[in-house]
Amino acid sequence: MRMEFKGFHPKDANSDVTITLTESGIEYSNPSTRAFQFIAYTQVAGFSGWLPTYGSLHIYSSNPNLTIHLNFPQEVAEDYLRQIQDILKEKVGPKTTNHLVAAMA
């Protein structure tokens, strides 16, 4: 499995970022800064997504120095958040369900 979702940086709507869901975890990349992060599904401590006028996603790691945050344009936000959160729920599994914040308002 490899599913890629393009969004933008929370502090700069002109800065494209990508989140990729793989078999083993979540990849986050920002081509303009060459930033890259990876969180294995076994290290996901929680996640949340919401729909103000755009879609916003936070993925928290058990490593407090590693968090993924990105936004999605309004026209794709609901679909992207649903797909991503469904996969995270499946991959993270019941062992951490009590610790997850998986809310989409």
Residue 56 CA to residue 70 CA, distance in Å, equals: 6
Q: Taking residues 82-92, report their average pLDDT.
A: 94
The answer to whether residue 37 scores a pLDDT higher than 90 is yes
Long-range contacts for 54-61 (Cβ within 8 Å, ≥24 apart)?
55/7, 55/80, 55/81, 56/10, 57/7, 57/19, 57/81, 57/84, 59/26, 59/88
Q: What is the mean pLDDT of residues 56-69?
A: 95
Q: Residue 96 above 50 pLDDT?
A: no
Per-residue model confidence (pLDDT) at position 52? 80
Which of helix, strand or coil describes residue 41? Answer: helix
pTM of the model: 0.85
> For the residues 53-60, what does the mean pLDDT come to?
93
Task: Please compute the mean of the pLDDT values over residues 79-103 and round it to a whole number.
Answer: 74
pLDDT band at 94 (very low <50, low <70, confident <90, very high): low
